[in-house]
Amino acid sequence: MTIKNAGRAPVEAEQAAIGRWIDHWEPENTEFWHRTGKRVAWRNLWLSVLAEHLGFNVWTLMSIVVVSLDDVGYAFTVGQTFWLLILPNLVGAALRIPYTFAIPRFGGRAWTTMSASLLLVPCAMLAGAVTAEETPYWFFLLTAAVMGVGGGNFSSSMTNISFFFPEHRKGLALGINAAGGNIGVAVSQLLVPFAIHLGTGINLSYAALIWMPVIVVSSACSWFFMNSLTAAKPDNTSYREALTSKHTPVMALLYVGTFGSFIGFSFAFPSLIGIAFSDFSQFAGIAFLGALIGSVARPIGGWLSDRMGGARITLWNFVGLSLGTVGVLLGVRVESFALFFGSFVLLFVFTGIGNGSTYRMIPLIFRTETSERVARTGEDMEAAQKAAKRQAGAVVGVVGSVGAFGGVVVNLVFKFSLQAGGTVIPALLAILVFFLTCVLVTWWFYVRSTFAIERAPNLSYARI
């Protein structure tokens, strides 16, 4: 579907665009944005949020179900349980790269519909596994691995939405989209324990069944009301150039420090409460507040970055993460649960803000580099900026994948620390060193230099 007249009636343009490819998309054109683009973009955003939220709901299911497997007759060892927890993370992280490239190949509408529909498979497998007698361990492993499709949804969703919004609104839009997904962790941690205790006894199948009707609704809405943008289709060079850019590994490292910490802390926090402060183990039930607070903070990071610059926010955010880690360390050393819990909540706040600010930096980095190159070479600005958007979309997927692997690393660091010395202090010291490294990396690459967005035409409102 082509929208060729930015001045046509907004309602008519919006209706014409529903469920179609859009060939003409100019979010930077103020008239186009207010007459046509704004409504289409926000409709696609909210439907994307729903699909991505469900992805996180399903992705984290096994981490909640394993707690009750012993109660229904499955006596798995600690090692077996560990693999049930780590497989969804590994598969989800690995899928984020191909999911990113699915957007230019299939379009946002078709791929969101397909990726949401795929969530029915692990739900059905889990429902069958926990209701059939003597289900073998290998089937639980397979079910946990298939749950990883929920983790892949994040990258395709973020890549797709990044094309819909103008630069000065992209930070908030990506922050809302990501927060809507991230909050799925907290929602599952809160709702699933209640669901499985409905009725008599423990009904683990309800952990999967409660999501299936919503998944069907989400898939239908994605198909009938979302759009695909021709601007997201790949050219011959932009995606390859993005993957070889020096900024891709740098931003991946920073995202490990933000999203990797968020997802790693979300899985570890309930256990750490019981391990570090056994007398306060009853507070493990409110550990979902960490994931909830971190998710809510994410759009704040995007909003602040739109106004103050993503690099500046990211820099000070890692300073905050370092201070929060020091607080957790002191809480463990002096055996103060209040300091430990409060500092951990602060960590979640900063991981959320950092998630928003780092993702805000990516499109601006490539847009700035492109503008500078055009100024030197005289190539066509419009074509170059379209390529820059494709490059940024590719990097979003790569960075998201590496960040998800970071969540696995965080949990392994805690695991090895506890196995080696029976305390989390070595793990916290290692995390503190990593956060301080991220402070230096952010300053070196994006704050100290003159690599500023003011140098790009018509984008003097912020720094990267």
185: CATH: 1.20.1250.20
Listed in sequence order, the residues at least 6 apart from 274 whose beta carbon sits closer than 8 Å to its beta carbon are 281, 284
Shared domain check, 345 and 404: yes
User: Do residues 167 and 28 make contact, with C-beta atoms less than 8 angstroms apart?
Assistant: yes
Among 233, 250, 268, the domain-final residue is 233
Minimal CA–CA distance to 159: which of 115, 225, 210?
Answer: 115
Start-to-end CA span in the chain (Å) = 34
Identify the pLDDT of residue 449: 65
Q: CA-to-CA distance for 195 and 189, rounded, in angstroms?
A: 11
Do 212 and 273 lie in one domain? The reply is no
Nearest in space to 151 (alpha carbons), one of 212, 85, 60? 60
Report phi then psi at 461, rounded to 5.
-85, -10
Helix 212-225 to helix 108-118 angle (10° resolution) is 170
Answer for the pair 425, 284: CB distance below 8 angstroms, yes or no: no
Do the Cβ atoms of 101 and 398 come closer than 8 Å?
A: no
Q: Tens-digit pLDDT profile for the chain (464 aa)?
A: 444 444 444 444 444 456 688 988 989 889 999 988 999 999 999 999 999 999 999 998 888 888 788 777 788 876 687 788 788 888 988 898 888 888 888 999 999 999 999 999 999 999 999 988 789 999 999 999 999 999 888 888 988 998 899 877 877 888 788 888 888 988 998 898 889 888 777 889 999 999 999 999 999 999 999 999 987 766 656 667 777 888 889 999 999 999 999 988 887 787 788 778 878 777 767 878 888 898 888 888 888 888 888 899 999 999 999 999 999 999 999 989 999 999 999 999 999 999 889 988 888 888 877 777 777 877 777 777 777 777 777 787 778 888 888 888 887 888 888 878 888 899 999 999 999 999 999 999 888 864 444 333 343 334 56
Closest CA to 181 of 241, 243, 233, 112: 112
Specify whether 242 is located in the same domain as 306. yes
d(C-alpha 420, C-alpha 241), whole Å: 43
| Domain final residue, candidates 185, 203, 233 | 233
221 and 246 both lie in a single domain: no
CA-based R_g, the chain, Å: 22
What is the DSSP pairing of strand 21-22 with strand 228-229?
A: parallel
> Domain range for residue 403?
235-464
Other CB atoms within 10 Å distance of the CB of residue 318 = 27
Alpha-carbon torsion angle 411, 414, 417, 420, nearest 10: -60
Q: Closest Cα partner for 228 from 400, 113, 386, 116?
A: 113
The token pair at 424 is 């989390």
For 190, 336, 393, 395, 403, the CA distances from 400, given in Å and listed in that order, are 25, 35, 11, 8, 5
* Claim to verify: residue 281 and residue 422 sit in the same structural domain: yes
Residue 252 and residue 198 share a domain:
no
Residues 402 and 417 in one domain: yes
C-alpha span between 261 and 430 (Å, rounded): 13
Whether 163 and 240 share a structural domain: no
Q: Are 373 and 309 part of one and the same domain?
A: yes
Of residues 340, 331, 354, 189, the one with CA closest to residue 266: 189
Residues 289 and 155 in one domain: no
Pick the closest to residue 181 from 392, 394, 400 (CA basis): 400
Contact 294, 182 (CB under 8 A): yes
Count Cβ atoms below 10 Å from residue 239 Cβ, excluding itself: 19
Report the distance separating Cα 289 and Cα 286, nearest Å.
6
* Distance (Å, whole) CA 179 – CA 52: 10
Q: Report the SS3 class of residue 229.
A: strand
**Structural domains of the chain, count:** 2
Let me know: does 3 contact 36? Beta carbons within 8 Å: yes
Contact indicator for 79, 66 with CB cutoff of 8 Å: no
Do residues 321 and 359 share a domain?
Answer: yes
Are 194 and 241 members of one domain?
Answer: no
Task: State which of 214, 233, 252 marks the end of a domain.
Answer: 233
Query: Tokens 């060729």, residue?
Result: 4
